[in-house]
Amino acid sequence: MANRINTKLKEDGKLLSIYFTAGYPKLADTVEIIQQLEKNGVDMIEIGLPFSDPLADGPTIQQSSTAALKNGMTTEILFNQLKDIRKSVSIPLIIMGYFNPMFQYGVEAFCKKCQEIGIDGLIIPDLPVDVYHEEYQEMFEKYGLINVFLITPQTSDERIRFIDSVSNGFIYMVSSASVTGAQSGFGDEQQTYFHRIADMKLDNPQIVGFGISNSETFEQATKSAKGAIIGSAFIKHLNGHGVDGISAFTKTIR
Amino acid sequence: MKTYQADEKGYYGEFGGAFIPEMLYPNTEELRQNYIRIMQEPSFKEEFDQLLKDYVGRPTPLYFADRLSKKYNTKIYLKREDLCHTGAHKVNNTIGQILMAKKLGKNRIIAETGAGQHGVATATVCALMGIECIVYMGEIDIARQAPNVARMKMLGAEVRPALSGSRTLKDATNEAIRDWINNPVDTHYIIGSVVGPHPYPDMVARFQSVISEEIKWQLKEKEGRENPDYVVACVGGGSNAAGAYYHYLDNPDVGIIAVEAAGKGIDTGESAATSALGKVGIIHGSKTLLMQTGDGQITEPYSISAGLDYPGVGPMHANLFTSGRGEFISITDDDAMNAGLLLSKMEGIIPAIESSHALAILECRKFKPEDIVVINLSGRGDKDLNNYIEYFNL
Ligand SMILES: Cc1ncc(COP(=O)(O)O)c(C=O)c1O
């Protein structure tokens, strides 16, 4: 069976992907949030596995992670919450988390569990492409998981080519040199970067993340990229409106 | 030959490496490609040595502690890092890194600090060089360490509170890393210990290696031999220890003793003894031993000594521990405080509480009368006076 991420990427149109932190606002919200997002036309979901020390994240995701851990979220609980998710949800699901919790769970056991549940891919910001390639790629592929790597405006062409060669889904294009967090718009610098990457004609499509917060930034980001990921802005919305406000949020994006 | 130094990729055995988000790759890569070359440039060496001599006050004495030796019936030497400018070994590293930053053309410095010792040492060298300095410090530590916060401010640094997580050292480190992600071009991050992603552990160890370089010739002068039987140092992240062990790491004749903070006791839940309580994992970009929950969340350590309550140890030390090359001992708050008082009364030296942990092993670890034991006295006790006052009702 083809991976749901690859199938989705072949569809026409731009993809909207949403990140949320599992266990936030409430421990048991996970399944409801995923179902609501699919119902409201989101194309792909990143389920954040909370970590005590999320060093690539800005204040919004940090706070949601701290809150989720306080609510009692663990890797085991998340897997339990997701065990029947494929009975009700068919869009691609990605787990995004830091390497240490996966390492403690056992990387192979983690991958196996993901396959059982129907998780399609992983994003692990602090597992560098070199280490992945040498130590984990075979294992991920054995369990049908797509691993997604980040690139930034500072990433050299040579390294982007390497990342492209190791990737088999999409490339997560970080919009600017920054941690996660909503910003108000993209300047010339970002446009230049977006064009530079588009001109490289990579094998893997790109999805832009970091700093996408509304329809305007979504539009800008997806002009040359295949899609965009919204994280902090969605979490802020959840914080104010709870799970019931999800349709109101997605309507503001497209 | 088996070596306990870092390999090319920054691994000490299975520990080390660079587990960093891609956003940090250009920053650490620039450093990785250049640090050894720069450190070997004659102009760099010359300026580094000059500053260590004229500004830091090196070489620091290797002092034979006569009364202490008699009491414990062995030969005890103290390496007096407490006499360094700013009061601890930390400045050896910050001098090295500020020169490195200049060579790399950086004009903005960031650092993390727990107790404030590394923050002060960083603010000091930034003042010396006229470079902008931002120090991240946990909100809780800012409240606990007011005198060092004031020092940093006097030295012209901006102290930014880390408000995330547990609001202590590990969170200050996270904030500094985030700052570096946000400022990849003009900023150099001066890490305060032999922790973090490659090349930091190796680079910091090299800057601190001046400690054992001096011990070698000083001991030769005094005892006619370069090698002591044991080198003892306290381990928070492990930088003073790395410096004290450095030139002895691959010499099996020299015993290596690492002293960690047991806090209120290893089994009390209030401890910082990473070798006893930690498991392999990833912290601040390095694969090493760290204190964590079964679920892989990093936990908050405890010690009366603010400089020892880091939830991990540098990868060099993780390897010394698991390979058996190093002997690891943990010392409680009470035993450390008493050792600090004892040194004050017997030798007229008031040690930092961190260093008191190293001294405290004399009570629990027997040495032979002919053994030469070098204890690295990493810092002086001025900063800890309030702690001593409270503890002993002085
Ligand atoms: C005097 C002194 N000793 C030791 C330490 C612990 O650090 P490290 O283990 O890196 O030497 C500190 C840290 O602040 C310190 O101030």
Q: Does A156 touch chain B (CB under 8 A)?
A: yes
User: What would the 3-class secondary structure string for chain A be?
Assistant: CCCHHHHHHHCCCCEEEEEEECCCCCHHHHHHHHHHHHHCCCCEEEEEECCCCCCCCCHHHHHHHHHHHHCCCCHHHHHHHCCCHHHCCCCCEEEEECHHHHHHHCHHHHHHHHHHHCCCEEECCCCCHHHHHHHHHHHHHHCCCEEEEEECCCCCHHHHHHHHHHCCCCEEEECCCCCCCCCCCCCHHHHHHHHHHHHCCCCCCEEEECCCCCHHHHHHHCCCCCEEEECHHHHHHHHHHCHHHHHHHHHHHC
Among A66, A103, A151, whose Cβ lies nearest the Cβ of B296? A103
d(CA B298, CA B291): 6
Q: Does A127 touch chain B (CB under 8 A)?
A: yes
| B188 φ/ψ angles, rounded to the nearest 5 degrees | -115, 135
pLDDT by residue for chain B (394 residues), tens digit each?
A: 689 999 999 999 999 999 999 999 999 999 999 999 999 999 999 999 999 999 999 999 999 999 999 999 999 999 999 999 999 999 999 999 999 999 999 999 999 999 899 999 999 999 999 999 999 999 999 988 899 999 999 999 999 999 988 888 999 999 999 999 999 999 999 999 999 999 999 999 999 999 999 999 999 999 999 999 999 999 999 999 999 999 999 999 999 999 999 999 999 999 999 999 999 999 999 999 999 999 999 999 999 998 998 999 999 999 999 999 999 999 999 999 999 999 999 999 999 999 999 999 999 999 999 999 999 999 999 999 999 999 999 9
Cβ proximity of A69 and A23 under 8 Å = yes
Q: Which of A229, A55, A208, A128 is nearest to B22 (CA)?
A: A128
> Among A55, A57, A73, A174, which would you mutate to test the B interface (most chain B Cβ atoms within 10 Å of its Cβ)?
A55
* Alpha carbon of residue B107 to chain centroid: 25
Q: What is the reported pLDDT for B144?
A: 82
User: For residue B232, what are the β-bridge partners?
Assistant: B257, B375
Q: Give Dmax (Cα) for chain B.
A: 56
C-alpha B86 – ligand 1 centre gap (Å): 13
CA distance A28 to chain B (A): 18
Q: Does B186 touch chain A (CB under 8 A)?
A: no
The tokens of B202 are what?
């190796």
Q: What is the reported pLDDT for A177?
A: 83
Give the tens place of pLDDT for each residue, A131-159: 999 999 999 999 999 999 999 999 999 99
Cβ proximity of A174 and B23 under 8 Å = yes
Q: Answer yes or no: is the C-beta of B115 below 6 A from any ligand 1 atom.
A: yes
Q: Does B171 touch chain A (CB under 8 A)?
A: yes
The tokens of B50 are what?
């000059």
| B362 φ/ψ angles, rounded to the nearest 5 degrees | -60, -25
Is residue B303 among the annotated active site residues? Answer: no
State whether A177 and B183 contact (CB < 8 Å).
yes
d(CA A54, CA A73): 15
Q: Which of B209, B183, B189 is nearest to B48 (CA)?
A: B209
CA distance B165 to chain A (A): 7
Q: Which of B328, B336, B305, B314 is nearest to B246 (CA)?
A: B314
d(CA B134, CA B177): 12
C-alpha B361 – ligand 1 centre gap (Å): 17
CA distance B281 to chain A (A): 6
User: For residue B318, what are the β-bridge partners?
Assistant: none
d(CA A151, CA B61): 50
Q: Answer yes or no: is the C-beta of B193 below 6 A from any ligand 1 atom.
A: yes
Q: Which of A183, A177, A45 is nearest to A121 (CA)?
A: A45
Angle B90-103/B42-51 helices, nearest 10 degrees? Answer: 140
Q: What is the ipTM of this complex?
A: 0.95
Q: Which residues of B touch A131 (CB under 8 A)?
A: 17, 19
C-alpha B106 – ligand 1 centre gap (Å): 26
User: For chain A, how far is it from start to end, CA to CA, in angstroms?
Assistant: 31
Q: Does B32 touch chain A (CB under 8 A)?
A: no
Q: Which residues of B touch A58 (CB under 8 A)?
A: 178
Which atom of ligand 1 sits closest to the CA of residue B82? 1
Q: What value, to the nearest 5°, has the Cα angle with vertex B173 and ends B171 and B174?
A: 65
Q: Answer yes or no: is the C-beta of B93 below 6 A from any ligand 1 atom.
A: no
Q: Which of A35, A32, A62, A37 is nearest to A48 (CA)?
A: A62
- Evaluate the CA torsion angle A10, A12, A13, A16 in order and state its sign: negative
| B127 φ/ψ angles, rounded to the nearest 5 degrees | -60, -45
* Alpha carbon of residue B239 to chain centroid: 3
C-alpha B263 – ligand 1 centre gap (Å): 15
Residue with tokens 């890393």: B177
The catalytic residue positions of A are: 46, 57
Cα A228 to Cα A173, A200, B187, B218, B233, distances in angstroms: 9, 19, 29, 62, 51
Q: Does A248 touch chain B (CB under 8 A)?
A: no
Q: Which of residues 295-324 of B touch A (CB under 8 A)?
A: 295-299
Which atom of ligand 1 sits closest to the CA of residue B380? 1
Q: Give Dmax (Cα) for chain A.
A: 45
Q: What is the reported pLDDT for B145?
A: 87
d(CA B302, CA B283): 17
Q: What value, to the nearest 5°, has the Cα angle with vertex B378 and ends B374 and B381?
A: 120
Give the tens place of pLDDT for each residue, B375-393: 999 999 999 999 999 999 9
Cβ proximity of B317 and B238 under 8 Å = yes
State whether B296 and A174 contact (CB < 8 Å).
no
Q: Which residues of B touch A59 (CB under 8 A)?
A: 164
Asked, as a colleague might, if the bond just before B59 is cis with ω within 30 of 0, I would say yes
Which atom of ligand 1 sits closest to the CA of residue B193? 10
Tell me which residues of chain A have a pLDDT lower than 50.
none
| DSSP H or E run through B37 | helix B25-40
Cβ proximity of A254 and A40 under 8 Å = no
d(CA B126, CA B331): 35
Among A57, A128, A151, whose Cβ lies nearest the Cβ of B18? A128
